């Protein structure tokens, strides 16, 4: 049995990860800024009859709150085995449509939320000389993905942070992985730019994505990929298979990858009357 914390655990990928952990017998702290949602998930998971789940209210932009939760979990259980810094938001739109509020929100949650989790968990795991930090990035952190560059920039940063930390942590007994999924069917995509100024990509983007090659991957399938990646101690957990193919193609021919994404941008601009 392992002791785990999952941020953004009230829905989507976080909920699927928490479900997989409890199903295999782990104790999971389901944390989310949506405290009611986290409690509902924990209550449901506690009916599975395997591991245990506890809910915690957490705003990952609050560094002190993140440190406090991680320390409390360690103190209560005597260790902290797995941390999933997973909370995130979707930001979309053409660069000229984006305000500094879009940029700040993306950086505060998608990047600094992960930084706060690493800053809180890493010292605990160094002292234990064990543990696994799993940060959620995106395929957008590996490829040139336009039409939401604050999101893309923060996910590239999470990939770099994770791979750099993995190199440092490996000699101290601590493991680090980064998850880079393609489009996953989660509430994150149902409310792009939530509480921010509208752009041509604001609102529910799931229907448009379903029409693209590969469509939407399910959070449950991604959770299975993540569990396998953890068991294998993979540095990068890229899913689904179409996403892995796109990543490899982009590495082999970055110029071609940029041309392909430019086609999508031109189409988007035409459809929304941008010249």
Angle between helices 149-169 and 112-128 (to 10 degrees): 10
**Buried (b) or exposed (e) across 201-229, using 16+ Cβ within 10 A?**
bbbebbeebeeeeeebbebeebbebbbeb
β-bridge pairing 27-32 and 52-57: parallel
Q: Which of 70, 122, 151, 217 is catalytic?
A: 151
Residue from 109, 168, 104 nearest 136 by CA: 109
Q: Tell me whether residue 151 is one of the annotated catalytic residues.
A: yes
Task: Tell me the CA distances in angstroms from 86 to 109, 177, 235, 252, 270, one per residue in order.
Answer: 10, 12, 16, 29, 34
Of all residues in the chain, what percent are helix, strand and coil, respectively (each to 5)? 55, 15, 30
Enzyme catalytic residues: 151
């Amino acid at each position: 049995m392992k002791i785990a914390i999952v941020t953004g655990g009230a829905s989507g990928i976080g909920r699927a990860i928490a479900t997989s952990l409890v199903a295999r017998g782990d104790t999971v702290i389901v944390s989310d800024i949506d405290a009611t949602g986290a409690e509902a998930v924990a209550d449901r998971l506690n009916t599975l009859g395997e591991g245990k789940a506890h809910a915690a209210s957490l705003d990952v932009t609050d560094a002190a709150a993140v440190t406090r939760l991680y320390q409390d979990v360690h103190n209560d259980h005597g260790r902290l085995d797995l941390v999933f810094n997973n909370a995130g938001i979707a930001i979309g739109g053409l660069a000229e449509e984006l305000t500094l509020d879009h940029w700040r929100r993306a950086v505060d949650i998608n990047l600094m939320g992960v930084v706060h989790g690493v800053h809180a968990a890493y010292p605990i795991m160094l002292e234990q000389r064990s543990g696994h930090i799993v940060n959620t990035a995106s395929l957008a952190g590996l490829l040139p993905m336009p039409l939401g560059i604050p999101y893309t920039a923060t996910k590239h940063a999470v990939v770099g942070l994770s791979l750099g930390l993995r190199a440092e942590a490996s000699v101290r007994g601590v493991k680090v992985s980064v998850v880079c999924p393609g489009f996953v069917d989660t509430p994150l995509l149902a409310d792009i730019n939530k509480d921010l100024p509208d752009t041509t990509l604001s609102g529910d983007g799931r229907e448009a994505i379903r029409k693209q090659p590969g469509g939407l991957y399910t959070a449950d399938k991604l959770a299975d990929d993540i569990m396998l990646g953890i068991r294998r101690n993979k540095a990068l957990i890229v899913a689904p298979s179409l996403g892995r193919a796109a990543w490899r193609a982009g590495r082999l021919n970055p110029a071609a990858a940029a041309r392909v994404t430019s086609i999508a941008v031109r189409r988007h601009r035409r459809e929304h009357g941008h010249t």
